[in-house]
A and B are shown apart, each in its own frame.
Chain A
Amino acid sequence: MKYIFFYTLLLSLVSCKNSTKTYNEGAILYKRHCENCHMSDGSGLEALYPPLAKADMLKNLGVKAACIIKYGLHGKILVNGIEFDTGMDPVQNLSDVEITNILNYIHNAWGNRKQFIQLNEVTHTLENCKTQIK
């Protein structure tokens, strides 16, 4: 708990001073872990890989997108009116801090806009979806 508080403090300090820096970290992680499927411009690929740029699903998910990164997503979904059922496997070995950085990046890249997401929100959300999934 102490650590979470410390990290949140650290993260918000960093984010207040220089929010683009955290997005940079998120951008690097995005390139490494997500770009292959969701593309560098977040456009996805036809009805195989859904877009993240201006995607209604991502917008509605908000911080809950953390659950998809950590636990994957299978089954039919609708993104901007298009049906996808390719399925996404969990992205392995990401810390909560890294997931937070990715979330802030994808929620603010390519014309997307969202309020800054804090680490404690992500940790809390991940605990909830863990019990939901298992």
Chain B
Amino acid sequence: MPVIGFKQLIEKEVNGKKVIDSIDHVIPPFIFINQDSNMITEKVVEDKIYLVDFFFTSCPTICPKVKKNMKKVYNEFKHREDFLILSHSIDVKYDTVGRLAWYAGKFNISSKNWHLLTGTKEDIYKMSYQYYITAIESKDAPGGFDHSGYIALVDRNRKIRGMYDGTEPEKINNLIRDLKLLFKYE
């Protein structure tokens, strides 16, 4: 499975000769807060395979569908110590830690494997660029936010290995297939 993302070009020396090499896109360090008020940083995903999406709890459009599909993936892998999901809320005003805790309870998920995250607006939106998932605050969009329902699959080295449309059940089956491959070989 390829690594997804823009590569960075660097100059380096091989046998005394200068050559151009490229570095994979790696998700930079981060600090967010989850539904239990715990700090979630890149240390939490260290040596783990994890999924990422962006949503908000009062979303009247695609989010419930994406969440339903992600729950399927969660149920299949939640027994694993090295599997995590990070769902970032793009509605930093309304989705407080308390609201995220309520959502997690009603959605019946555990922070053992699934973190619902909040943070500063700037950090959340900057993070969405890193995963190549669109998230925009927009007065014209239903619910006040425009965002894509994509799910990113990230490997143990914080490199993106797949992007899946979370609204489509067949794409979710691809995601489950790819997750199994990553767990088996990496």
Q: Which A residues are within 8 Å of any B CB, using their own CB?
A: 36-37, 39, 45-49, 86, 89
Q: Given A46-B107, A47-B108, are A36 and B61 also a contact pair (CB < 8 Å)? A: yes
Nearest-neighbor residue (CB-CB) of B143 within chain A? A89
Chain A nearest Cβ from B68, distance in angstroms: 5
Does A47 lie within 8 Å of B106, measured CB to CB? yes
- On chain A, the residues within 8 Å of B64 by CB distance are 36-37, 39, 45, 48-49
- On chain A, the residues within 8 Å of B108 by CB distance are 46-47
Rounded to whole angstroms, the CA-CA distance of A37 and B63 in the bound complex is: 9
- On chain A, the residues within 8 Å of B71 by CB distance are 46
Known: A36-B64, A47-B107, A47-B108. 20 other contacts (CB 8 A): A36-B60, A36-B62, A36-B65, A37-B60, A37-B64, A39-B64, A39-B65, A39-B68, A45-B64, A45-B67, A45-B68, A45-B107, A46-B71, A46-B106, A46-B107, A46-B108, A47-B105, A47-B106, A48-B64, A48-B103
Does B60 lie within 8 Å of A86, measured CB to CB? no
Main SS of chain B's interface residues? Answer: helix
- On chain A, the residues within 8 Å of B103 by CB distance are 48
Rounded to whole angstroms, the CA-CA distance of A37 and B67 in the bound complex is: 11
Q: Looking at A39, A86, A89, which has the most chain B CB atoms within 10 Å of its CB?
A: A86
- On chain B, the residues within 8 Å of A45 by CB distance are 64, 67-68, 107
- On chain A, the residues within 8 Å of B107 by CB distance are 45-48
**What are 22 A-B pairs with beta-carbon distances under 8 A?**
A36-B60, A36-B61, A36-B64, A39-B64, A39-B68, A45-B64, A45-B67, A45-B68, A45-B107, A46-B71, A46-B106, A46-B107, A46-B108, A47-B106, A47-B107, A47-B108, A48-B64, A48-B103, A48-B107, A49-B64, A86-B106, A89-B60
